[in-house]
Structure 1
Amino acid sequence: MTNWKIWTLRVLGIIALLLGLALTIGGVWLIALGGSWFYAIAGIAMMVIGFDVFRRRSLALWVAYGLLIVDLLWSFWEVGFDFWQLVPRIMVFLVFALVVSIVSPALRKKNGEKSFSAMFATVSSVVLAIAVIAVLANMPRPHALVTASGEKSPVVYSDAGKDSGNDWPAWGRNTKGNRYAQFDQINKSNVKDLKVAWTYHTGDLAVDGAEYQVTPLKVDDTVYLCTPLNKVIALDATTGTEKWRYDPKPQIFQSTKGWKRCRGVGYTDLTEQYRQASANHSVQTDDNGNSSNNSAALPSACLKRIVVTTIDARLFTLDAETGKLCEGFGDNGFVDLTVGLTKEPPTSDQGSYNITSAPLVADGVIVVGGRLNDNLTVGEPSGVVRGFDAITGKILWAWDAARGAKDSTPLPAGQTYAPETPNFWGTAAYDPKLHLVYFPTGNQTPDFWTGNRHPYSDEYNDSIVAVDIKTGKEVWHFRTANRDQFDYDVSSQPILYDLPRPDGSVVPVVIQLTKRGEIFVLDRRNGQPVYPVEQRAVATDAMPGMNVAPTQPFSALSVGTERLKESDMWGATIFDQLVCRIAFKSMRWEGEWTPLSDKKRTLIFPGYYGGMNWGGGAIDAATGTLIVNDIRMAQWGRFIKQDVAVKIGLKPTTEGEYSTQTGTPWGVERSMFVSPLGIPCFKPPFGSLTAIDLVTGKTKWQVPLGSIQDAPVHGFVPGVYIPVGMPTMGGPLVTGGGLTFFHGSLDYYIRAFDSDTGKELWRGRLPVGGQGAPMSYIGKDGKQYIVAVVGGATRTGTNKNRSDLVIAYSLPDNK
């Protein structure tokens, strides 16, 4: 045998020895932690293979085959036929068996005789190569978690969506927040033919902490949207030509320097409110007691208004036709939303209170909450929710957790609402029949320390609250967490739906998605669960001074909430999977709600980004099918003394890996649970799209959402389309054409799925990623349009791959 062949075998042998040694050492460590024995056994087998290859012994091939067989048996026993769970378990040993098979003609028996013929080596190598190719060939296709039966969902409401006509007049299309458009011009049979109809650039790039998360509105023939810096823009709905723009020039404070967002604007037609107001103020009585109505003419401007909130905590309205400020609103056109709030504590960032989400506008009332800094300090301003007159901007009511159901009247001038109350930072929903507004609440900040919680904060944290739209008087509230210690604030817009029940009755429900992945379906008249909610015991071994709840509510409906176990740990290879298993076994983990400690890291799953975040879900209002996208990212957290954090160089932020929680005994360090390679330490998908039949409660289908193609890991972009399912942002759009559209994945695509099966029917390449929610309307030309605002995927951490693009799709004229 030539020297280069000998040295090739020796190099292969050394590689196998070293990898086997690493597996053995790690495997013994895992055994010591009470974990699986397989890795240590596999490591020893690999060292035997390496030693025998180095010595050119034929035993290497038989050990490689034996290891592969044992590996397959063990893998199927642990994870069944879960493709992405099998890949890291089998690929290394499959490739090793292939390599040893290829070099097998060079291996010898103890007596030096040749062991394997060229024919044997060729056949075995071909078989193993086919197996490797089969695994690789299955990587570019999605692997459903729940496969659809193929049955088409029956229509429950044939007139669903028609109340909004050809428009999209509210952030969730209507005040019920269902994100459903009844249009069927674009459907399953022709969606593949979608083309770009028009594009528009706003001029505000999503850079330096700005993110495009906006869902536009469309009224008559105008599309309305806002930029992260609150510029409001009106476009022609059929051509994308700019009609007008308005810049409120918000102040940028320290708190909003890296957090600039405008998720949407509101719209209202005040014709009826003006007529009522005019009539109420112009009724006169003569000497005989007879009344006469001398109502004034309707105003020539600002009858139809765009309602806007800003990142410097202002509220204003614009004439929808001209874009001019409605100067009769508030004080010179603006309402200062910081009035009635306490000042930020000295340890907080200036501008802590700001608005990022679209306001609800209904029945002449504007309903707004506000965003606060999380985790920096105690003493943050109130989380008060307020209603304002849409004509005058006058405050009508103010609900805050400190007063709860007792009183919702606005405080007199000079008085302030109680600080530290749970806030509402999303978009509310409204039932015009019940005259009730529904909004979700967050948590008293700092989020991770519960030793200083007010009783009213515990009562209203992570809740759904129903109030009267005219008075703000609370009718009921429901907690989705008994005492939140993980920033599980409920942020998605509630979805209102009239739900047919198996017994033939119809229950008006509110559907609340949560970061925990729990889906609460409640009777929106009284807050009683329609799908069962169970109080389950959770871990309570908390730090001294912490107050944790002994039980937490769990719904009969949920997505991605299965309890993580050791066999769920994942990796690109068997080696980083082993590292993740060691990390998992080294953490505190007694299931969801395991309290944080200062001794070692505690696993947090579901993670505090979701589950379901602010983007919310959509419902096919015709069939009662709920469509939700979720995030499945485990995290870890640990308490740390503030002075220790300073010494080791941790920099405090509200959203980063360390927060001071000033005013409490502990800061909190936290991060994603990832491997040394920078990929998640738990099984895919890391984001999915799920369809749930709300009539039966059954999951119809569940598919991974998004590929690794454009997602950077340690600065490296894979560039290959492998749809494992990635963390999502934004929300879906459902149409009467049987389609679900989505573009908030980490790769640069907008997609259309079959709403009955979850099958991807169309995928359009984008210049950058997106993180809002698409919308749809019919233009004056009779065409159906799908519109998305694309500014870049969420939190890339750089100004690269960012945009300011508005893009509209339609079918070609001949389709």
Structure 2
Amino acid sequence: MKIITLVLGAITALLGLALFVGGIWLASLGGAWFYLIAGALLTVAGIGMARRAAYALWLAFLVLLYSLVWAFYEVGLDFWQLVPRLLVFIGIAMVFASLAPTLKTSSGQRALGGKASAAIAVICLVTLVGFIAGMFHPHPSVVADDDTSAAIIKSDAGQENGNDWPAWGRSTQGERFAQFEQINKDNVDQLEVAWTYRTGDLATGGAEYQVTPLKVDDTVYLCTPMSKVIALNATTGKEKWRFDPQPKITESVQGWKRCRGVGYTDLGPRKQTAFADSVVHSADDNDTAAQDDANTSDSQIDNALRASSAPSCRRRIIETTIDARLLALDADTGKLCTDFGDGGYVDLRKGLTPTPAASQEGTYNVTSAPLVADGVILVGGRLNDNLSIDEPSGVVRGFDAETGKLIWAWDAARKTSKPLPPGETYAPETPNFWGTAAYDPKLGLAYFPTGNQTPDFWTGNRHPYSNEYNDSIVAVDLQTGEERWHFRTANIDQFDYDVSSQPILYDLPREDGSTTPVLIQLTKRGEIFVLDRRNGKPVFPVEQRQVPTDGMPGMQIASTQPFSALSVGTTPLKETDMWGATPLDQLYCRIQFKQMRWEGPFTPLSDKKRTLIYPGYYGGFNWGGGAIDASTGTLIVNDIRMAQWGRFIKQEVAESTGLKPSTEGEYSTQTGTPWGVERSMFVSPLGVPCFKPPFGSMTAIDLTTGKTKWQVPMGTIEDAPVHGFVSGLHIPLGMPTMGGPLVTGGGLTFFHGTLDYYIRALDNDTGEELWRSRLPVGGQGAPMSYIGSDGRQYVVVVDGGATRTGSDENRGDYVIAYALPKAD
């Protein structure tokens, strides 16, 4: 027993000493004094335990009492915040209590009797077990008021697309809503795998499966990270055809292979409708004749429709490739539409300036699904961030869906959207658009979000037109590209807050019975901007707030930034939000936080010390976007909550210290500017984020009121590696998410973009998990749903591996369809 108390005392004293020394450091930075005081008491308690002195027990109890008061004062009943503040001290009190009969006072009396010590130890043990059990249950940030189903305000929502999923967001409005009710809350727990297909294109070597497939008639269409297009039978998963454009893998593309989706168009109805319209207009020129011979006019239209021949390759799949080509395939055969562009291809690099010498070869490419609507293909492009100035233009272009001819080209540096004359190039460095656009066919307007001028962190070389259009939503006439309006979500973006998610278009009911056509734009900043899509005016209030401006000499810094009345995960961090698995890494995180520059959002970077970046530049909301239950007006979104830090560093200093430059890694040169930039995730030495959970969530917002209905953590630590170790514990901490949700008329939200290997179905009214199924590997796309020719509703996911694992382990190439069991 003496050896046990000696070892326990030594461990306790060392823990106390570490807390005491770290506490002095934190207090000297203006932080909490708790660790200093608790550390001193624990050190003395440890020495007492080693000496088997009775006072050790009372000091352990005092530390526990002190930690309880301090914890509830700082964080109230926040479960995950209480864990590192209390568990260790409860455990110490439990062990000390169990050894109390061996501890003596100076007069030789026992510190506590056997029964009393056992009772206290049991109480501590039960409390510990309760905490541990609580770790395996989700702790919502916002709990639903009740489980009452949301009122239906639009009964025909989603029905315009029938049984299909013909666009990336199901419709060009980006709703990701399928009205099907066959799979619902009552039977979702019966879902089973209906079929599985493997593409043969493993997500290795920098490849990521982020695709949402399409479904038209009885065919599912998808693309692989290597830009291969595959068509599958929608009810069996059997391959119909595949096409390989054999993209050139440049240095820039080597570690960034993605294809998030393809587009679809049927040229026949467009051509025939236009021809029929001309007949109708001709008849309308003579109203009397039209009235006298209405049957003849009807006959003319019918004959015109029958006589008009559909163009070759009438039903087309449109793809953009990772080597910056646009191509058209026959949707029925998978063969190139040779009348499109040059033998089926359009070179998207035409009109762009060369890649700067300091950057990587082939920095311009396309990873997101094109918008294809009303005979026009709208595409943007991806550029390398942060390696160099003079990156190619971020021009957004519209092409004819039949011929591939360039119709218009919108660019921030130009006043017109007319295509450039042959031989001319678009101005380099303009803000680009790298997501998927949305389209309102009634208004004839397309909407696309923009990023900013590269590089992201140094703003001293920004052009006035770049500042005007960075991180904006731009509305253009789809047929001409002429701008109607734009709205900026950030003023002079210093932090890679590109607006990347597809805008969601929705008709918002108002109290007076009218509706307002709105555009809902999610941002990396976690702000949700709701605008009147006719003119770009905010529908939910937007406030310009003062932000810090003490940046580096030569920087352009805006004094205000726009903040929306709707947001998720945007509350500024403070010292009490620092977190860790133990008191020690929580103390470490507090010290790091106090040492950083942080005066709230948009605190500028410095070369003197690290600056905290929160929300982080991965989001907030990233390219996966959100979904809306268009029948109830409920917006459902997944987010990322990861803080980062950054600081400027001279390029020659970075080179001498061995930092390796890259566009996405921990160091980028920003060649052509005075500074490189070093940046990383804000984590503890254990690899755990330094701020409170959740690190990713799913949130439901009632758009009629702006109220958050519920918010739940998404994902567990089960498959998440920390320094190469995977715990395997199904603890729903809420992990960073990728991809987007699918919402259905059955009252369900499906999601599989978590770091653990599951697809889940949540209750739209409460956020409760109703079903989950294990996946072969992690996923990061968005599910989709359709009704097959057999009358069954399918939910389909593409599963290729969790995001940015840094290795080729646990990668896949799976397409998995779920359905209810077939009726007997």
User: For the superposition of Structure 1 and Structure 2, which TM-score range results when normalised by the shorter chain?
Assistant: over 0.9
Instruction: Name the counterpart of 2:394.
Output: 383
1:162 aligns with 2:159: yes
Q: Specify the SS of the correspondent of 2:23.
A: helix
> 1:280 Cα deviation (Å)?
10
RMSD in angstroms over aligned alpha carbons? 1.7
1:408 aligns with 2:417: yes
Instruction: Name the counterpart of 1:721.
Output: 730
The one-character-per-residue Cα deviations of 1:406-431 (angstroms, maximum 9, x if unpaired) are: 31000011111111000000000000
Q: Distance in 2 between matches of 1:177 and 1:660?
A: 36
- Say if 1:216 and 1:224, in contact at 8 Å, map to a contact too: yes
Instruction: Name the counterpart of 1:362.
Output: 373
Instruction: Name the counterpart of 1:511.
Output: 520
Instruction: Name the counterpart of 2:665.
Output: 656
Task: State which of 542, 559, 567 in structure 2 corresponds to 1:558.
Answer: 567
> 1:522 Cα deviation (Å)?
0.1
The one-character-per-residue Cα deviations of 1:208-228 (angstroms, maximum 9, x if unpaired) are: 000000000000000000000
Instruction: Name the counterpart of 1:231.
Output: 228
> 1:504 Cα deviation (Å)?
2.6
What are the within-5 Å matches in structure 2 for residues 145-160 of structure 1? Answer: 145-150=141-146, 151-160=148-157
Q: Distance in 1 between matches of 2:5 and 2:557?
A: 60
* TM superposition outliers: structure 1 runs of 4+ over 4 Å: 276-283, 290-297
Q: Specify the SS of the correspondent of 2:548.
A: coil
Q: Specify the SS of the correspondent of 2:334.
A: coil
> 1:278 Cα deviation (Å)?
6.9
What are the within-5 Å matches in structure 2 for residues 203-602 of structure 1? Answer: 203-275=200-272, 297-299=308-310, 301-403=312-414, 406-602=415-611
Which of 598-607 and 263-272 deviates more?
263-272
1:101 aligns with 2:97: yes
- Say if 2:268 and 2:310, in contact at 8 Å, map to a contact too: no
> 1:63 Cα deviation (Å)?
1.2
Q: Specify the SS of the correspondent of 2:116.
A: helix
> 1:279 Cα deviation (Å)?
8.0
Q: Distance in 1 between matches of 2:431 and 2:304?
A: 46
Q: Distance in 2 between matches of 1:805 and 1:281?
A: 48
- Say if 1:691 and 1:701, in contact at 8 Å, map to a contact too: yes
> 1:791 Cα deviation (Å)?
0.1
Instruction: Name the counterpart of 1:135.
Output: 131
1:766 aligns with 2:775: yes
1:44 aligns with 2:53: no
1:25 aligns with 2:36: no
> 1:277 Cα deviation (Å)?
7.1
Q: Distance in 1 between matches of 2:273 and 2:255?
A: 44
- Say if 2:412 and 2:466, in contact at 8 Å, map to a contact too: yes
1:668 aligns with 2:701: no
The one-letter amino acid of 1:71's match is: S
Q: Specify the SS of the correspondent of 1:187.
A: coil
Task: State which of 71, 74, 99 in structure 2 corresponds to 1:75.
Answer: 71
- Say if 2:268 and 2:311, in contact at 8 Å, map to a contact too: no
Q: Distance in 2 between matches of 1:95 and 1:257?
A: 50
Task: State which of 55, 59, 63 in structure 2 corresponds to 1:63.
Answer: 59
The one-letter amino acid of 2:359's match is: S
> 1:443 Cα deviation (Å)?
0.5
What are the within-5 Å matches in structure 2 for residues 678-717 of structure 1? Answer: 678-717=687-726
TM-score, reference length from structure 1: 0.97
The one-letter amino acid of 2:57's match is: L
Q: Specify the SS of the correspondent of 1:91.
A: helix
The one-letter amino acid of 2:652's match is: D
Instruction: Name the counterpart of 1:179.
Output: 176
Q: How has the CA–CA distance of structure 1 residues 300 and 479 changed in structure 2, closer, same or farther, with 3 Å as cutoff?
A: closer
Q: Distance in 1 between matches of 2:685 and 2:153?
A: 50
Q: Distance in 1 between matches of 2:33 and 2:512?
A: 52
Q: Specify the SS of the correspondent of 2:44.
A: helix
Q: Specify the SS of the correspondent of 2:653.
A: helix
Q: Distance in 1 between matches of 2:316 and 2:699?
A: 36
Instruction: Name the counterpart of 2:285.
Output: none
The one-letter amino acid of 2:233's match is: D
Q: Specify the SS of the correspondent of 1:358.
A: coil
> 1:62 Cα deviation (Å)?
1.2
Q: Specify the SS of the correspondent of 1:13.
A: helix
Q: Distance in 1 between matches of 2:583 and 2:227?
A: 48
Q: Specify the SS of the correspondent of 2:605.
A: coil
- Say if 2:267 and 2:311, in contact at 8 Å, map to a contact too: no
Instruction: Name the counterpart of 1:144.
Output: 140
- Say if 2:139 and 2:712, in contact at 8 Å, map to a contact too: yes
> 1:533 Cα deviation (Å)?
0.2
> 1:503 Cα deviation (Å)?
3.2
Q: Distance in 1 between matches of 2:556 and 2:199?
A: 48
Q: Distance in 1 between matches of 2:197 and 2:365?
A: 28
Q: Distance in 2 between matches of 1:176 and 1:739?
A: 20
> 1:300 Cα deviation (Å)?
6.7
- Say if 1:27 and 1:39, in contact at 8 Å, map to a contact too: yes
1:810 aligns with 2:810: no
- Say if 2:267 and 2:310, in contact at 8 Å, map to a contact too: no
Unaligned runs of 5+ in 2: 283-288, 290-296
Q: Distance in 2 between matches of 1:376 and 1:148?
A: 46
Q: Distance in 2 between matches of 1:332 and 1:300?
A: 16
1:643 aligns with 2:652: yes
Q: Distance in 1 between matches of 2:304 and 2:47?
A: 102
Q: Distance in 1 between matches of 2:425 and 2:274?
A: 30
- Say if 1:369 and 1:386, in contact at 8 Å, map to a contact too: yes
Q: Distance in 2 between matches of 1:273 and 1:525?
A: 25
The one-character-per-residue Cα deviations of 1:152-187 (angstroms, maximum 9, x if unpaired) are: 211110000000000000000000000000001000
What are the within-5 Å matches in structure 2 for residues 109-120 of structure 1? Answer: 109-120=105-116
Q: Distance in 1 between matches of 2:57 and 2:279?
A: 98
- Say if 1:518 and 1:561, in contact at 8 Å, map to a contact too: yes
1:122 aligns with 2:122: no
- Say if 2:761 and 2:769, in contact at 8 Å, map to a contact too: yes
The one-letter amino acid of 1:37's match is: W
> 1:651 Cα deviation (Å)?
0.3
Q: Specify the SS of the correspondent of 2:726.
A: coil
Instruction: Name the counterpart of 1:797.
Output: 806
Q: How has the CA–CA distance of structure 1 residues 348 and 278 changed in structure 2, closer, same or farther, with 3 Å as cutoff?
A: farther
Q: Distance in 1 between matches of 2:513 and 2:709?
A: 21
Q: Distance in 1 between matches of 2:422 and 2:783?
A: 42
1:748 aligns with 2:745: no
The one-character-per-residue Cα deviations of 1:712-771 (angstroms, maximum 9, x if unpaired) are: 011011110100100000000000000000000000000000000000000111110000
> 1:505 Cα deviation (Å)?
2.3
> 1:117 Cα deviation (Å)?
2.0
- Say if 1:502 and 1:696, in contact at 8 Å, map to a contact too: no
Instruction: Name the counterpart of 1:785.
Output: 794
Q: Specify the SS of the correspondent of 1:761.
A: strand
Q: How has the CA–CA distance of structure 1 residues 730 and 21 changed in structure 2, closer, same or farther, with 3 Å as cutoff?
A: same
> 1:645 Cα deviation (Å)?
0.2
Q: Specify the SS of the correspondent of 1:261.
A: coil
The one-letter amino acid of 2:706's match is: G
Instruction: Name the counterpart of 1:53.
Output: 49
The one-letter amino acid of 2:739's match is: G
Q: Distance in 2 between matches of 1:360 and 1:514?
A: 20
